[in-house]
A and B are shown apart, each in its own frame.
Chain A
Amino acid sequence: MNNAAPKIPRPYALLAELTYRCPLHCPYCSNPAQYPKGDELSTAEWTRVFQEAARLGALHIGLSGGEPLSREDLPELVRAATEAELYTNLITSAVGLNEKRAKELAEAGLNSVQISFQAHEPLLGDEIAGATVHQRKLQAAKIAVETGLALSINAVLHRSNLGFLEQIIDLAGSLGATRLELANVQYYGWALLNRDKLLPTREQVETAMRVAQAAKERYAGRMDIVYVLPDYFQDRPKPCMQGWGQRYMTVNPMGQMLPCPNAFSIPGLRFENVRERSLGEIWSESESFNRFRGFDWMPMPCRECPQREIDFGGCRCQAALLTGDAAATDPVCSLSPHRGVVDEILQNEATRTIDQPWVPRHYHARAVAVS
């Protein structure tokens, strides 16, 4: 026991990335742009992971991917999570959600299904997804509601669809969603590769903010609208993950356990595997989870800033990607000595090469074998 170690909190939620396989090619996919090698965790291994997560205190599980419906054993996994008393939320493109599967998932105890939409209409939606999926998503959302599954909609916002925000919101409302997450792109992995094309203009950002605010009021009591700010345009960083190793844990398809889904952005950080150690051990003892836990790792100006209790110094991955130092203040912060890096990215608004093609997210599941 090391007395100087930061106090270990309890986790609230597990993000289970069940597979990297996905029929979509969204250019802002949150999966790593360089995939780790290995075999996907089996049904039995995931079941053990869910039980351990619940014992640690997790209340929520996000069943995500890639596309989680690509896992044939998804109903079994939902059942396992339900039996562990976790609140189950399926985070899906909904491609493959037909009546039979929706019924199986509902019977397995699924609490909520979150369907992504790329736009308000098929032409743009299918272009962004890199696949003909918009109509199928509409159909799947209808099936989800008819099956009695609670529906959330998620839309990732960027330069190509921000102008249609109102239509996207009304689409979610008309589909019967009780929650709508409007998430401005965060620039990691695939999104970073496509940043020039995704980054909105300041005018778009300001208009969208007003549209979202008005919609929040209009839909109050019917649909909860969560608006994730475009952090490059703010002067204070986001409270990323509510602090490193404080509330969230991610397990990727190969069993690596990460403090955040983008943690691969940080060079030199080694992630332990749930095949080799328990979740509890990794959560409380691993180097990766303790690296930025608490406040002791903080540089100036964070170390003495009253904001540190609110934003926890911002995002470690963003610091690593934009400054080369994962332990730097998030450069979004106007108090960061590196804020100029962000301003420079925003400055060349007029000359950004938005006509270039997308770098579509791809994954070749050559070596995947589910035992």
Chain B
Amino acid sequence: MTSLAAMQRESRPALAPQVRFRNDPVSGEPVLLYPEGVLVLNATAADIVKRCDGKISINQLVAQMSHEYETDETTLAADVVECLADLSKRTLLVFLP
């Protein structure tokens, strides 16, 4: 997982084409929708996902969030990479070069 992350730090994460991000109108929770599936996101994951627009790199995403959350980049990077790796494993995320 770490080597995957190291390789892709300059890549730009984006939601896979079959994935939609929205709020569940019943629970109010942020969810990812994909064929026959619903993934409920926690607040941090949702904040990461909404930045996965295919335009900014993982490094830029971490810098952005660390600025807003006033958190140390190294700690935050570990959380972001873990979240992205999990979504990628579920085929919900792609990494643009």
- A residues touching B (Cβ–Cβ < 8 Å)? 10, 12-13, 54, 57, 59-60, 62, 85, 87, 89, 111-112, 114, 148, 150, 152, 178-179, 181, 220-224, 226
Contact = CB atoms under 8 A, between A and B. Distances in A.
A112 B19 CA distance: 9
Contacts of A150: 16-18, 35
A29 B70 CA distance: 57
A317 B88 CA distance: 37
Contacts of B25: 54, 57, 85
B89 A221 contact: yes
Contact of A57 (B26, B33, B91): B26
A89 B36 contact: yes
A59 B38 contact: yes
A178 B24 contact: no
Contacts of A57: 24-26
B22 A114 contact: no
Given A57-B25, A59-B24, A87 B33 contact: yes
Contact of A114 (B24, B26, B35, B89): B35
B91 A223 contact: yes
A254 B64 CA distance: 53
Range class of the B interface residue count: 10 to 19
Contacts, number: 55
B91 A60 contact: no
Given A62-B36, A226-B36, 6 more contacts: A111-B35, A112-B18, A112-B34, A150-B18, A221-B88, A221-B89
Given A89-B35, A178-B18, A10 B26 contact: yes
Interface of B: 16-18, 20, 22, 24-26, 31, 33-36, 38, 88-91
Central interface residue in B31, B34, B35, B89, by most chain A CB within 10 Å:
B35
Given A10-B26, A222-B91, A178 B17 contact: yes
B89 A111 contact: no
A112 to B, nearest CB: 5
B33 A59 contact: yes
B91 A221 contact: yes
B22 A85 contact: yes
A152 B35 contact: yes
Contacts of B16: 150, 178
A262 B22 CA distance: 31
B20 A224 contact: no
Given A12-B38, A57-B26, A87-B33, A220 B18 contact: no
Nearest to B31: A59
A115 to B, nearest CB: 12
B20 A111 contact: yes
Contacts of B24: 57, 59
A224 B91 contact: yes
